[in-house]
A and B are shown apart, each in its own frame.
Chain A
Amino acid sequence: MQGFLDNLIRSKGFDPATWQYTQFVYLAGMAAAAFIVINFAAITAGIFSWAERRVAARMQSRVGPNRVGPGGFLQWVADAVKLLLKEDLVPDEADKLLFRIAPYFMMVGFACVFVALPFSHRLVVADMNIGLFYILAVTALIVVGIIMSGWSSNSKWSLFGAIRSAAQIISYEIPAGMALMIPVLLAGTMSTQGIIRAQGGWPWQWFLFNNPAAFAAFFIYFISALAEGNRTPFDLPEAESELVSGYNTEYSGMRFSYFFLVEWGNMWVMSALAVTMFLGGWQIPGLSPERFDALRGGLGVVAEVASLAVFAMKTLFFVFVVMWLRWTLPRIRVDQMMNMCWKYLVPASFAGVLFVAAWMLLVNAQPWLGYAMRFTLTALGAVSVTLFALRVLRNIHDTGDKFDFTSNW
């Protein structure tokens, strides 16, 4: 971002270090970036709300919203307009100030993540050298918003939701953070772009298939991210059948929509982070980052768009997986949730970090080991995906069902 603005100033014939208006340009640049990022977050969250409802509907032999716009695509706009026009109710006995500002905490915590999230080869707001720590830190703001909203609502159900989420999100930050340290170890940097550059375009170059601990770390991270994003099977803070609606029970209108904006937007955040850390990010197969940097002109633009598409495809796939899990699995209980975190994920993630450190020393001494392990793990991954597909086909056959992607749109 700063580099881009510096180049811009230089192209006008000024020196950014001495020019008096440099800071203003930076400020304007930041404002523009913030505007774009918040709009991107809000619009993806809105589109995901529509996508999730359509996906859920297909999974449940329903049709889902299909009236507003083509295939119901504009449903999220209609919903947003409706929610904005609704009365903003504040319960009588609520702590009015906290009740009002709680959604903004969530919104801020959520929107700030996008600053360090990469989108393509050059498209990132700020490629900080502490990018990952920054992301982990600002996501913690979300839990402040949740606790605030639950406590200030003065409703027992909200309070339950808030307490559950405090326990859940704070616990799961530990395995998530530790699991993300493994790519950091492998890449030797915390910059999100740097981690992507340390990987490659082909699956066997991804950190996912680098070694068994990294493979496990991906799943630890993904599970923890589900828990941090309050997604099924960890949707305890807003468990509909238990807590009515959890921490957002008393909210209505626009403030209510913020909670769901954050929830749906978080799907992008957690998936993009997983893709960045473990799945090679925007790397195009067969194009090394150095050659990518060297591309200029039209070819550079094409490659840039292609890298954006690669990143978006991978991320959207995981967004779909998150939806898929939500509409498949039941919810786990509070004590099981805590057990899972502290008994399994936390020790496993710590062991993983140690293993990776040892593994890196080993691979330094015997490089062939690294190649062998990558090959084996990639093959294992391919085999398990194939087996899964075959199993699905058999189930469909057994039930006497058939594929139908065309009707009922």
Chain B
Amino acid sequence: MTKPLEVPTMDMENKEVLRRIEITGDMLLNMGPQHPSTHGVINFLVQTDGEVMKRAIPEVGYLHRSIEKIGERCTYNGFMPYTDRVDYIAAMFANQGWAMAVERLLGMQIPKYAEYCRIIACELNRISSHLISVGTMAMDVGAVTPFPYALREREFINDLLEELCGARLTYNYLRIGGVAFDLPSGYEDKVQGFVDHFEKILDEFNRLITYNEIFIKRLAHLAPISAQMAIDYCLVGPNLRATGYGFDVRKALPYSVYPEFQFDVPVGRGEVGTKGDAWDRFWCRVEEMRQSCRILRQALAQMPQDREIMAKVPRKIKIPEGTEAYSRIESARGDMQYYVVAGAGENAHRVKIRTGSFTAMGIIDALSRGLMIADLVALIASLDVVAPEIDR
């Protein structure tokens, strides 16, 4: 391992970085934006000396679509389909964040049945999102087979969600004031059947990859993050919890009907390596899928019977100018926050979305120093960044 040289600071222009790389005689490697394992269009400027990196600078912005600005130009309801695109792997959460923010602007309560529908949809979506995450992480470490295994299970969830709202990726299921459709008949049994089947598959998945010797060798002790460092870099979600700091918005700042469920927040324990290493992040996601299954079971058992899916929402939502609202939800990628300031007409004056992937990108530079190129790939995958969520 090379000892960290005098490294350029974060805010330095890329040009300056390039100049320094030239002086030191290192190699500059552009990893991305079309690299197979950057998980979307992200670029990493990698300064390497052979296999060992001196640093990797994430370059974001290739997938910026001005979603927040679109939110200021659309009506409150009209923005709902756009929120799907904030994080297309876990679209339900982006829906929920926006719906909750506007509901808070309106100061309204939504029917309990609708909340349960939301929770079922969201937890299914959390499982499918984590499946993508753990599957691609295994693939980035070189094991291809866990990925189709994960995708096969995700297909079942896609089928379920398609039955619910007609879409398989960008769901647009939630509405301000409730959900768009009632659960189809027999839906509870199908979800129950999936959960029963899926918990066995999780054990199989653990046997296949989680406790694989090479996999552990690759990920244990890799890029450990301490709890303090994670908080300093605003990490959220499984990335934060893997450090042993059990902050989960569902528990810490309960919203929706989450207080009615019993579930644990899995935190990293450093089971095979250092606490907060890449393997812990992987393991946290696997365990969270199990917890989501628990929540789904309870939600199905406790469903209210009234089947009321929408609260009374005015056809044209008009909110006094300058009213502010803020919603925080636990998305698959962690703490997702929507901040809305109502505008004069039927749309918002300001929309700001805070997402987990964007902050996760910030820590890559600090963690990448002294790692190898193969480790960088595993590190990016372990942080579970999704390009559209970074740039919005």
Contacts and interface: CB of A to CB of B under 8 A. Distances in A.
A28 to B, nearest CB: 46
Interface string A158-181: 001001100000000000000000
B212 interface: yes
A334 B373 CA distance: 9
B373 A235 contact: no
A330 interface: yes
B148 A62 contact: yes
Contact of A242 (B200, B204, B377): B377
Contacts, number: 90
Contacts of A395: 204, 207
B209 interface: yes
Interface string B196-212: 01001101100111001
Interface in B41-59: 50-51
A393 interface: no
A333 B212 contact: no
Nearest to A243: B373
Given A160-B373, A241-B139, 20 more contacts: A59-B145, A60-B148, A61-B152, A156-B27, A164-B51, A236-B374, A241-B36, A327-B144, A329-B143, A329-B214, A330-B143, A330-B212, A330-B214, A330-B215, A331-B214, A332-B218, A399-B200, A399-B201, A399-B203, A400-B197
A328 B200 CA distance: 19
Contacts of A232: 142
24 contacts: A56-B144, A60-B148, A61-B148, A156-B29, A236-B374, A240-B36, A241-B139, A241-B140, A241-B142, A244-B35, A244-B36, A328-B143, A328-B145, A330-B143, A331-B214, A331-B218, A331-B374, A334-B374, A335-B372, A336-B217, A395-B204, A399-B201, A400-B197, A400-B200
A87 interface: no
Contacts of A332: 142, 214, 217-218
Interface in B345-392: 372-375, 377
B141 interface: yes
Contacts of B148: 60-62
Count chain A CB atoms within 10 A of each CB in B140, B143, B209 and give the residue with the most.
Answer: B143
A242 B37 contact: yes
Interface of B: 27, 29, 35-37, 50-51, 138-145, 148-149, 152, 197, 200-201, 203-204, 207-209, 212, 214-215, 217-218, 372-375, 377
A163 B373 CA distance: 13
Contacts of A241: 36-37, 139-142, 377
Chain B interface, >50% SS class: helix
Given A156-B29, A241-B37, A331 B142 contact: yes
A209 to B, nearest CB: 26
Nearest to A156: B29
A261 to B, nearest CB: 21
B31 to A, nearest CB: 9
B35 A330 contact: no
B209 A333 contact: no
Contacts of A373: none
Contacts of B375: 333
Interface of A: 56, 59-62, 156, 160, 163-164, 232-233, 235-236, 239-244, 327-336, 395, 398-400
A43 B390 CA distance: 48
Contacts of B201: 399
A327 B145 contact: yes
A233 B214 contact: yes
A395 B217 CA distance: 24
A59 B372 CA distance: 31
A398 B201 CA distance: 9
- For A235, A244, A331, the residue with the greatest tally of chain B CB atoms inside 10 Å of its CB is A331
Contact of B149 (A60, A156, A160): A60
Contacts of A334: 51, 372, 374
Contacts of A62: 148
Nearest to B144: A327
| For the complex of A and B, 10 pairs with smallest distance between CB atoms | A331-B142, A60-B148, A330-B143, A241-B37, A330-B141, A330-B142, A241-B140, A399-B204, A330-B214, A330-B215
Contacts of A328: 143, 145, 208
Contacts of A333: 217-218, 372, 374-375
A242 B374 contact: yes
Contacts of A236: 374
B141 A331 contact: yes
Given A241-B36, A241-B37, A399-B203, A329 B212 contact: yes
A175 B36 CA distance: 33
A341 to B, nearest CB: 15
B286 to A, nearest CB: 15
